[in-house]
Amino acid sequence: MPLHLKRLLMLGVLIVLLFLLLKHLLTPVSFGQFGHYRGKAIDEIAAHQVKFVGNKACVSCHDTIVTMKNEGYHSDLSCEGCHGAAYLHVDHPKLEKLFKPDSREFCGKCHSINKARPEKAVTQQNIKDHHPEDKCIKCHNPHQP
């Protein structure tokens, strides 16, 4: 074989060896344990704090509001969908205050006219013309609108 081809071949072999070495050094130990991902990642994700505790966690202290909401038009909505994640509040209600979304814009996130949203799913209202002088919650109870 001519010398210049031998050199090229050696260079090729060297690159492949270097690739295999780096792959060996840089691949995390638990990679491939269960599939094409890091096996340890499962434990790391499972260790995350659960931040949304669910409507049932509110019953012990706010049973009137829970019952009221479940009987009205907002029965399908989650408390935390409006008030935000409550994992800190349920343990320290006096210290960890929740958000009270009382602005017109907030209700408009679901009720404003939006061609992309199916009309049958949520009643759409022209927020600019519908009693623009007051907050929505002056007339509609957010827990039983």
Binding site for ligand HEC (CB under 6 A): 53, 55, 57-58, 60-62, 65-66, 69, 73-74, 76-77, 79-83, 86, 89-90, 93-94, 97-98, 100-102, 104, 106-111, 122-123, 125, 127, 130-131, 134, 136-140, 142-143, 145
Q: State the Cα–Cα distance between residues 45 and 74, nearest whole angstrom.
A: 32
Report the nearest approach of ligand HEC to the CB of residue 129 (Å).
10
The Cα 9–Cα 4 span in angstroms is 9
Which residue's CB is nearer to ligand HEC, number 41 or number 66?
A: 66
Nearest residue (CB) to ligand HEC, 22 versus 61:
61
Which amino acid is it at 107? Answer: C
CA 103 to chain centre: 22
In single-letter form, the type of residue at position 48 comes to H
Amino acid sitting at position 73: Y
